[in-house]
A and B are shown apart, each in its own frame.
Chain A
Amino acid sequence: MNNTTIDNKNERRITLKVYRENRGQDSGSHHDTFEVPYKKWTTVLDALLYVKSYMDPSVAIRYSCRMASCGSCGMKINGVPKLACYTKISELETSTVECEPLPNFPIIRDLVTDFSRFFNHHKSMQPYIQTNDSTEADNSKGTFSFYQSPEDVDKYLQFSYCIKCGLCYSACPTVGTDLNFPGPQALAQQYRYFADTRDESKKRLDIVDDRHGIWRCHFAGSCSKVCPKGVDPALGIQLLRSYMLGISKNDKIPAKKIEINDDNNNNGKI
């Protein structure tokens, strides 16, 4: 934003209340307030970047894509976990916008939190396709792909939209008390790979069948409420549970392997 924008008399202003804390210095925490101009389309991230550019460069935030894709800019905005780049000041309809770090994550500085534990839970789900068929990796035997019908894809597609922003994890009451609980993001990803017809792992249900595992979800549903990508992690958890309780039967038909013949260009067709 340039000076002409700031001088504009008709411009609306918002009070941005920003949480400040530096883990490195034991000086405790406080809030700083900034008067920031905004337009109809100004996002909370835009406002914070304005503060950094013109008022206080020391405010720590994390962001990258600015378009709800990278999952970096999660924070508590007016008490609710949201993506700062995906939340417009105008839609909040309050005169003060309060920005705080995501709950359930250790604070590094100001609005920047430590995602190590969250990512470790995600990794412990083995979030990748596991197949017993080694021909796929062996280029000398030709190039293969695995056929999935649109119905096969529908079973997991919604869950694959997760951007690992951690909003669901920060909203989960169980995560708030049980740090060993994998959380909605990781559990929903376990379902995403479990439901994928290309995946042949037999261990998926065992990984989450633990004292601190999937059964510690008590269906608060707050994860699905805050998810910015419509993943509905609570649904993934319940679907996975229904297999573990024997209500749903795992009748997954493994994806058919098809050779891709580049010469006659019939990629992906059987």
Chain B
Amino acid sequence: MASRTILKESQIMKIHYITGIAAIFVVALHIMMRLVVPFEQSLEYDYIIANYKNIIYVLILESILVLISVHGFNGIRIILLELRQSRAWENMVTVVTISAMIGLIAYGTRTIILANGL
């Protein structure tokens, strides 16, 4: 029954649960950091750019990006795997979700780096 894969399903699910639970904390921190000023003000251009220059804010943003991308795309992989059962479908789902995960992390990281002005 078990197929040859790089990671065992139990290892993937450990990552899934850890990223899911960790995301709760970093998203909570992220929301709290946004709440220190009135909502309108938090959306102003200068305020946002200033946030991107704050290294702690940036580290939290990057970790949300990585945690939610890994967790979310694996979540989508799980959902899609249950829809159909064939080797071709499974391989396609794995390749597409991992590529999308890497693509989103790369694009998000690029935005963070550009806004930070590094």
* Cα–Cα, bound, A211→B14 (Å): 14
Which of B5-13, B26-34, B48-56, B99-107 lies at the interface with chain A?
B5-13
List of A residues within 8 angstroms of B17 by Cβ: 245
Which residues of A in the span 202-229 have a Cβ within 8 Å of any Cβ on B? 205-207, 209-213, 215-216
Interface residues of B (CB under 8 A from A): 1-3, 5, 8-10, 12-14, 17, 78, 81-83, 85, 90
A244 CB to nearest chain B CB (Å):
5
Total cross-chain contacts (CB, 8 A):
45
Interface residues of A (CB under 8 A from B): 124, 174, 177-181, 205-207, 209-213, 215-216, 244-245
* Cα–Cα, bound, A56→B12 (Å): 54
Given contacts A211-B90, A215-B13, A245-B14, contact A206 B85 (CB under 8 A): no
List of A residues within 8 angstroms of B8 by Cβ: 209
List of A residues within 8 angstroms of B10 by Cβ: 205, 209, 215, 244-245
* Cα–Cα, bound, A177→B17 (Å): 23
- The residue that A213 contacts in the complex, of B1, B14, B83, B85, with Cβ under 8 A, is B1
Q: Is the CB of B1 within 8 A of A210?
A: yes
CB-defined A-B contacts under 8 Å, sample of 25: A124-B1, A177-B82, A180-B85, A205-B10, A206-B2, A207-B2, A209-B2, A210-B2, A210-B9, A211-B3, A211-B5, A211-B9, A211-B90, A212-B85, A213-B2, A213-B9, A215-B9, A215-B10, A215-B78, A216-B78, A216-B81, A216-B82, A244-B10, A245-B13, A245-B14
